[in-house]
RNA sequence: GCACCCGUAGCUCAAUUGGAUAGAGUAUUUGACUUCGGAUCAAAGGGUUCCAGGUUCAAGUCCUGGCGGGUGCACCA
């Protein structure tokens, strides 16, 4: 789904010359493809952008270096750039006036970042964050939430109409386990606050209890399992004392979810509950069975995908109840029917890979045409130094524990100096924003396919390549803007001649192509790298090139304008990552 | 047994998706205008990109075969 940038003045200028070269040599000029080959030179001094001439070599039967020389001629008349061959590459250096007037000035006046980045894409749904009720939300869930949210923002930035959705699991065995234990083994009243967390702990205790029972008293376990089946039947029937208990406790978990989403700044367009699709999905499977599209095997219904090396996809247990895959079929149907989407993304743990392959294949086999537009966006899971995290085992780091520790640490280590000077409200807000920056950036900067080994003490150290580093750079520019104002006269961009100024501009012109690239490969980590590089380039510039002590007003104005442009890009980049930019910190 | 993911500096990670001399953070060593905000900046050392073949003008990246770590594979979600 690679898209093309619409309004990039630098690339447009390069493409103009390239197009003529292609025509003169009777080569097919596909703008988007050629555009993809424009890159950043490895060293700032080489130029601002580069184009490698390798692919011409075979067609024209000349070495790339010779072609680079020839290609140079196509830019001889350009008033805004100089083309310089270096080996197989043609490096482009733009005039500072051009960069200033056609790019930086438009960021400063707000027009550039508001315009459409590219042509609109198809309508997509991005489903993420599938928390279970009756379980505790832990740091593992956070990776999913951060990724999903950033992807939603990224797709929106790249002109895709996006419907964000979540699919919480409020029915199933885990609920029965929790409710049974709550009713039969817990005799205390629920706490006045944090009921959701308390309920999650009961789930863990229930599991430990049942595991223990399996060892010590298998007969009793069988009885308990029968009771749990009865609980599930009550939930399905929609009446009975367990149904009432389910309704009440479910709400506790939902409150916890809402609290987490509020902290994260996440909102969903659609909440689709497992309990909504549970019964219809079972009905659908039965219909499909009668149509002969699904087979019976060992008392259960499902589809044999063994020939495609995908095993057996069970869709109805022998007791007639459904499974996760069952619900996912109905979920897929609803997504396309109710939301009129054209593509459906599932941001789910990589361990579900086989599951989704099975579900999508079954959808295809039962004649669901959009099966090909269902895409599993897999990411690797978060584990603890001593192994996998699981609410079943109870060895989790609850999300709010991380949040509280992080906010406390930030106030102690970094905000103590403002105590008394800032209002309590601002101190609390800033601690919250910086904690969000640290946590979200930490989750997003790692390539989604790499697992994260979570160590709370390490996470609390925030320095270097981190969210707060970028936020800090932002707030410093904010402070710069508070103290200096643009005077409204034309900026003399040509005064920006320092290497640090150049480097900063060179990074900034990559912003839009970075967004498209990150979106095309579904990796917000590409955007975290970008905002980090840009912030680093700014800090270097800030250190080398003073605004207030620039020596003359025109230079000060030009540097201020460059700072403002950087600020605008950083703020938008952070916003897409879901990271707030504190005014001061 | 089969399938999938990962393997890059002491440690944690990048690398424009096949392109220029493999870069950051951290740790270590050293330095910076008495600070337009030091949560900053600069410098040094640190590499057989797990191994062996192959494809290519070009491989950390693709293919084959190993090794190591992790995960998944019928009534859990």
How confident is the model over A112-137, as pLDDT tens digits?
999 999 999 999 999 999 999 999 89
Find the nucleotide nearest A513 (Cα to C1′).
B16
Given a contact cutoff of 8 angstroms between Cβ atoms, the answer to whether A453 and A433 are in contact is: no
Give the start-end residues of each E strand in A263-322. Answer: 270-271, 295-297, 300-304, 312-316
Whole-model pTM: value is 0.96
Query: Which nucleotide is nearest to A53 if distance is taken from CA to C1'?
Result: B19
* Bases of strand B lying below 7 A from some protein CB: 2-7, 12-17, 19-21, 23-27, 33, 36-37, 39-42, 57-58, 70-77
Give the distance, in angstroms, between residue A470 CA and nucleotide B9 C1'.
Answer: 25
Predicted local distance difference test score (pLDDT) of residue A61 = 87
- In angstroms, the CA of A306 and the C1' of B16 are apart by 40
Strands A270-271 and A162-166: parallel
pLDDT in tens, A482-516: 999 999 889 999 999 999 999 999 999 999 999 99
Tell me, in Å, how far CA of A41 is from C1' of B23?
14
Phi, psi of A86 (to 5 degrees): -145, 100
CA A124 to chain centroid, in Å, comes to 15
Q: How far is the CA of A159 from the C1' of B49 (A)?
A: 37
CA of A130: nearest nucleotide by C1' is B77
Kindly indicate the confidence band of residue A212, based on its pLDDT and cuts at 50, 70 and 90: confident
HEC letters along A465-496: CCHHHHHHHHHHHHHHHHHCCCCCCCCCHHHC
Both tokens of residue A101? Answer: 């007037």
Would you state the structure tokens that stand for residue A470, as one six-digit string? 């970028």
How distant is C1' of B57 from CA of A449, in Å?
Answer: 32
Phi, psi angle pair for A5, to nearest 5°: -70, 135
pLDDT digits (tens, 9 = 90+) for A339-384: 999 999 999 999 999 999 999 999 999 999 999 999 999 999 999 9
Write the CA distances from A144 to A1, A116, A279, integer angstroms.
22, 28, 27
The set of residues, in sequence order, having a beta carbon less than 8 Å from that of A229 and lying 6+ positions away, is A176, A319
Q: Tokens 């680079």 appear where?
A: A68
**Alpha-carbon span A318 to A335, nearest angstrom:** 28
Percent of chain A with pLDDT over 70: 100
Sorting pLDDT into bands at 50, 70 and 90, what band is A388? confident
| Shortest-distance nucleotide from A318 CA to C1' | B75
User: What confidence score (pLDDT) does residue A2 get?
Assistant: 57
- pLDDT-derived band at A232 (thresholds 50, 70, 90) equals confident
The beta strands (E) that lie in A253-317 are given as 270-271, 295-297, 300-304, 312-316
Domains of chain A (ranges; CATH) run 9-94 (3.30.1360.70), 128-275+340-388 (3.40.50.620), 399-577 (1.10.730.10)
Strand order in the sheet with A38-39: A38-39, A49-52, A89-94, A81-86
Burial code of A305-316, b = ≥16 C-beta within 10 A, e = fewer? beeeebeebbbb
Q: What is the mean pLDDT of residues A229-233?
A: 88
For the segment A311-349, what is each residue's pLDDT rounded down to a tens digit? 999 999 998 889 999 999 999 999 999 999 999 999 999
Tell me the C-alpha distance between A299 and A281, whole Å.
Answer: 18
The pLDDT of residue A321? 86
Per the structure, the residue whose CA is closest to nucleotide B14 at C1' is A529
The Å distance, CA of A532 to C1' of B28, is 24
């Amino acid at each position: 789904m690679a898209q093309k940038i619409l309004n990039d003045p630098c690339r447009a200028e390069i493409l103009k010359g390239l197009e003529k070269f292609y025509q003169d040599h009777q080569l097919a000029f596909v703008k988007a493809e050629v555009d993809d080959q424009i890159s950043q030179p490895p060293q700032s001094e080489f130029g601002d952008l580069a184009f490698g001439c390798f692919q011409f070599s075979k067609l024209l039967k000349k070495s790339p270096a010779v072609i680079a020389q020839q290609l140079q001629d196509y830019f001889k008349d350009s008033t805004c750039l100089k083309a310089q061959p270096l080996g197989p590459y043609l490096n482009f250096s733009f005039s500072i006036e051009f960069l200033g007037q056609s790019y930086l000035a438009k960021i400063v006046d707000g027009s550039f970042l508001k315009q459409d980045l590219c042509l609109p894409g198809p309508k997509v749904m991005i489903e993420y964050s599938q928390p279970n009720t009756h379980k505790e939300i832990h740091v593992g869930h956070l990776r999913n939430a951060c990724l999903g949210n950033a992807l939603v923002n990224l797709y929106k930035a790249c002109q895709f109409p996006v419907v964000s959705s979540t699919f919480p699991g409020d029915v199933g065995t885990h609920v029965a386990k929790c409710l049974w234990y709550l009713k039969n083994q817990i005799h205390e009243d629920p706490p006045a606050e944090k009921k959701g967390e308390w309920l999650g702990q009961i789930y863990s205790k229930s599991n430990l209890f049942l595991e223990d029972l399996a060892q010590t008293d298998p007969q009793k376990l069988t009885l308990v399992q029968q009771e749990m089946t009865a609980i599930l039947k009550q939930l399905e029937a929609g009446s009975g004392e367990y149904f009432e208990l389910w309704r009440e406790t479910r709400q506790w978990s939902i409150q916890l979810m809402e609290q987490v989403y509020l902290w994260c700044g996440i909102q969903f367009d659609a909440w689709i509950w497992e309990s909504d699709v549970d019964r219809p999905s079972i009905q659908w499977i039965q219909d499909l069975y009668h149509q002969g599209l699904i087979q019976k095997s060992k008392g259960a219904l499902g589809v044999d995908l063994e020939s495609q090396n995908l095993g057996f996809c069970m869709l109805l247990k022998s007791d007639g109840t459904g499974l996760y895959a069952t619900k996912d079929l109905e979920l897929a149907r609803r997504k396309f029917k109710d939301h009129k989407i054209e593509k459906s993304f599932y941001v789910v743990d990589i361990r579900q890979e086989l599951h989704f392959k099975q579900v999508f294949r079954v959808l295809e086999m039962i004649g669901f045409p959009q099966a090909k537009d269902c895409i599993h966006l897999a990411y690797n899971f978060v584990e603890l130094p001593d192994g996998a995290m699981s609410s079943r085992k109870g060895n989790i780091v609850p999300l709010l524990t991380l949040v509280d520790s992080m906010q406390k640490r930030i106030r102690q280590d970094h905000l103590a100096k403002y105590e008394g000077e800032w209002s309590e409200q601002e101190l609390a807000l800033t601690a919250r924003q910086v904690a969000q920056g640290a946590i979200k950036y930490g989750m997003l900067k790692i390539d989604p396919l790499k697992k994260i080994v979570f160590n709370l003490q390490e996470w609390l150290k925030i320095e270097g390549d981190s969210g707060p580093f970028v936020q800090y750079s932002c707030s410093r520019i904010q402070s710069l803007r508070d103290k200096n104002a643009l005077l409204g006269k034309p900026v003399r961009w040509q005064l920006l001649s320092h290497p640090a100024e150049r480097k900063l501009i060179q990074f900034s012109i990559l912003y839009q192509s970075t967004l498209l690239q990150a979106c095309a490969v579904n990796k917000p980590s590409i955007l975290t790298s970008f905002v980090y590089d840009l912030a680093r380039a700014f800090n270097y510039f800030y250190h080398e090139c003073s605004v207030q002590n620039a020596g003359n007003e025109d230079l000060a104005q030009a540097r201020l304008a460059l700072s403002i442009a950087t600020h605008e890009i950083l703020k938008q980049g952070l916003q897409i990552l879901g990271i707030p930019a504190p005014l001061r910190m």
